[in-house]
Amino acid sequence: MKKGFATLALVGVVAAVAVFALTQNPNVSSGMNLKQTDTAFTKYMSKNGKSYATKEEYILHRNLYKAAVAEINAHNTVEG
């Protein structure tokens, strides 16, 4: 029963974060707009059981995720 409540709480946190993320300014960054990046980040959070206690912590980790995606995309577009 406790596992069910923990799962429900996690889903609630992820949903709240997704709503917050998707209501932000849809700026374009690294060929992927903010909305797409936030959707991918939210999926990453859900898949890996991540949650963040504050808006600032969420933004920090979202920006780290965006930077990693941009680095991977840049690496993948370099012709060898």
Measured CA to CA in angstroms, residue 55 lies from 3, 5, 24, 31, 70 at distances of 26, 23, 12, 25, 22
| Mean pLDDT (the chain, rounded) | 76
Cβ pair 38, 21 in contact under 8 A: yes
- Helix/strand/coil percent split, the chain, to 5: 75, 5, 20
In the predicted structure, residue 4 carries a pLDDT above the cut 80: no
* SS3 of residue 64 by DSSP: helix
Structural domain spans, the chain: 2-77
- Give the model confidence (pLDDT) of 33-59 as tens digits: 667 878 999 999 999 999 999 999 999
